[in-house]
Structure 1
Amino acid sequence: MQILTPEELREKFKDPWIAPYKKIITMVDNDLVEIVEYHPCISGSHWMIYQYPRTSKLVIKAKRDGNRHIYLTKTGKTRISLKASLNAAGIEEVTVIGDEVKVVHAGLAGAGVGAAMCRGMADGVKRVELYDLGGGSKIGRAAVITPKLEKVIIGIDDTDTKDEGATWTLAHNIGVELSKEGFEYLDHLIVQLYPQNPYKTQNCVSVALTFAVKPKTKKELIEKIIRKLEEKTLSDKTSIAVFNGILIPRELRKYSIMAKKKLVTIDEAEKVARKVGVQLIEITGAQGQIGALAAIGLSDDVEEAVKVYQK
C-alpha cells in the first residue's frame, strides 16, 4: 500500500490516461455520508451513476448534475463482486474516523484508474491509500480520505420589493461571497411557491442555498448570512430558515408542497419548523419565514421545486 497526498500523486503519476477529478467533498449526518464529486467529464460521468448503486449496497442512491456526482451512502463495509460492464465499479467501505471520512473505491480497468489515481488528485482530498493501481484489465482499489463536513441548507425569502431587487440573484451572490471567504457553496435552488399569493412581489419564489461546512463554523456561516442580508435586502419582510442535515424530513417536504398549492400562515410555518428542527430567523420581518422554510423542504428535488400548481 502507498499513502500519498494529491500533490505527491500528481508528481508521481503523469500518464496520459489519468484525468483528475476536480474536487471531492464528504458530508456526514450520523450513519449517512453524502459524497459530492466533481468529475473531469460531464455526460460521460453518468456511467458512474449507473454503476455504483448496482455494485455496492452502501450506495443508497446516486444522481448527476452536470459533472457533479452526488452519492448518498451509509457507513459500513461490504464485499463487491466486480464484473466487466455489469458491475464494473463501486464502493467497498465508508468509514468516519474522527474528523475524517474514508471511502474505499474499486473498479475494473478504466474505472480502477478512476478509483485510485483520478480521485486521489482532486481538491478536497487529504490523502489516498493506493492498494491496486488498475488500468488495462486490472482491478484498481484505493481509499480516498477527506475532511468530515456537515450539510447546512439556508432558505431565504422576501428580499425584494415590487419596484426593485431579485431574491434569487441576491442569494446566489451571497453564496459566492461566502465561497470566497472559505465556505463551500454547493448549490442554489429556486422554489416556486403559490402563484396567487397576494403578498408576492411577482413570480413568488424562494431560494435554498446549500453549504458543506466544518462543524465548528456553522454558527459563523449563519451570522455572516444574517449580516449580509441586513446590509443588502430591500424588504421589510426578509427571513431565513436553517437546516442542518442530509435527509429532508417528510413533514417538511409535505409543508413545502402545500406552500406551492395554497396560502400558508406564519403560524403554520413556525409549527412545522419546531417539529422538524429548523431554525427560523427574522432579518427584517417574519413574512419571509413561510417561503424560506418551504425552500428547504424541496432543496433536494429540483423537478418538484420548479413546478407550478394552478387552480
Structure 2
Amino acid sequence: MRNGDDMDILKPEDIKKRFEGKFWVSPYSRILAMTDGAVVELVEDHARGTCYGGAAWEVHHYPKTSSLIYHARRDGPRNIFRTRIGETSLDLVPGLAAAGIEKVSTSKSEIRVQYSGLGGAGVAIAMARGQAEGVEQVEVYEWGGGGKRARAAVVLPRYEKVVFGIDDTDSPESGATWALANEIGYTLGKEAGVYHLDHTINQLYPQNPHKTQNCVSIAISFAVSAEKKDWLVSQVKDLLAEHTVSDETGLAVFSGIDVPEDLKRYSRMAKMRMVEVEDARQAAKQAGIILYAVTGERGLIGAVAAIGFYDDPDSAVRVDV
C-alpha cells in the first residue's frame, strides 16, 4: 500500500510475496524491541538465524554511524543495540559507515525504528528485516538494493524487559541451578507475549563455605508484554518453588535495561569476598530490585549479584572483573 506521503506500508506477508524466490534477500529470523520509557533495546536475530557475519558487520558499523546507539554487542548471529529515543542524521560512507539507525520513537503499544543504509546494507533494512517474526509492518521511503540507498522504518510491538537473578537451588546430592533456570526460561518463553532472551552464568566467590560446588548464580532475561509481566514473575516464583532442592533459594527481579553502577559494584564484590544478606538487600533497594526468599534468604546474595552482569556473559563467568 502506498500513502500520500510517498511511502510504501507493507506487512511481513506482503514483503515475502514481493521478494519470493529472490535469493539476494535473506530474511531476518526475529526482531524484538523493549523500552523502559527512557531507552530502547533492540534484539535482532540476523538472516535465517545463522548469519554471524551480518551481525558482526552491523554491530561494527551501526554505532559508528548513529549517535542514537550507545551500546552494541553481538551474541552469535544476534545484534543487541541500545538506543536513545530521538532522531539523528546519518553521514553514510561506503565501507566505513554504511548503515545505521536514524530515528527511534515509542508509543503506548509500539516501538518504531527507522534505518538507512547503502548497497547490501540497504537490502537488510526493509526487505530482510521486514520478513522477520515480530514485525508488525514496514514503512519504506526508499527501497535500495544494488548500489542505491535504502530508508525504512520497522514497526514492532512494545515490550518491557525483566531480568531474574536466581541462586541456591541445588544440594550436594542433586540439582543444577544453571539448568533449572534455563528450563524455566525455555518453558515460559513458549507463552504468547513472553520471549526468553538469554541466560548468564555468574561466578561468585569461589571460597564461599556455603557453596555446593562451583559457586555460580544465574540470570535469565525476558521481553514481555505489559499485560503478561505480573504473570511471568508469578510463574518464575512458582516453578522455582516446585523444582528447587534447596531450602535457601533466592529470587531477584529487575525491571529495566541498563544495569545501575552501584549494582555492578555489589556484583564485583560478591565475586571477590563473602557478603551478607543485608548487603544484597541494600544493593537491591538502590537498584529497584524486588526480592523473594523462595525457600530461604541466603540465595538472595547470589541472585542480586547475577543481575549486575546479566548483559555481559563473558565477564560474568570470571572472578577478576
1:2 to 5, 8, 23: 8
Q: Deviations over 1:244-300 (max 9, x none)?
A: 001101111100000000111011111111121101101111110000000001111
Equivalents in 2 of 1:134, 1:304: separation in Å? 39
Equivalents in 1 of 2:71, 2:293: separation in Å? 35
Give the gaps of 5 or more residues in structure 1: none
Equivalents in 2 of 1:47, 1:181: separation in Å? 32
Contact kept? 2:46, 2:54, Cα under 8 Å = no
The alpha-carbon distance between structure 1 residues 12 and 269, as it changes in their structure 2 partners (threshold 3 A), is same
> Is residue 2:46 matched to residue 1:39?
yes
Equivalents in 2 of 1:221, 1:309: separation in Å? 33
- 5 Å-filtered alignment, 1:1-311, equals 1-14=7-20, 15-40=22-47, 41-182=51-192, 183-309=194-320
| Structure 2 letter corresponding to 1:101 | I
Name the SS of the counterpart of 1:201 in structure 2.
coil
Equivalents in 2 of 1:110, 1:43: separation in Å? 13
- Displacement of 1:215 in angstroms is 1.5
Contact kept? 1:241, 1:281, Cα under 8 Å = yes
Name the SS of the counterpart of 2:143 in structure 1.
strand
Quote the sequence identity (%).
Answer: 49
Contact kept? 2:202, 2:216, Cα under 8 Å = yes
Contact kept? 2:170, 2:177, Cα under 8 Å = yes
Contact kept? 1:116, 1:132, Cα under 8 Å = no
Equivalents in 2 of 1:305, 1:47: separation in Å? 25
| Structure 2 letter corresponding to 1:21 | Y
Give the gaps of 5 or more residues in structure 2: 1-6
- Displacement of 1:45 in angstroms is 2.4
Q: Deviations over 1:153-199 (max 9, x none)?
A: 00000100011110000110111110122320000000000001011
Equivalents in 1 of 2:190, 2:98: separation in Å? 38
- Displacement of 1:217 in angstroms is 1.4
- Displacement of 1:309 in angstroms is 4.8
- Displacement of 1:79 in angstroms is 1.0
Runs of 4+ in 1 over 4 A off after TM superposition: none
Name the SS of the counterpart of 1:43 in structure 2.
helix
TM-score, normalised to structure 2, is 0.95
Name the SS of the counterpart of 1:115 in structure 2.
helix
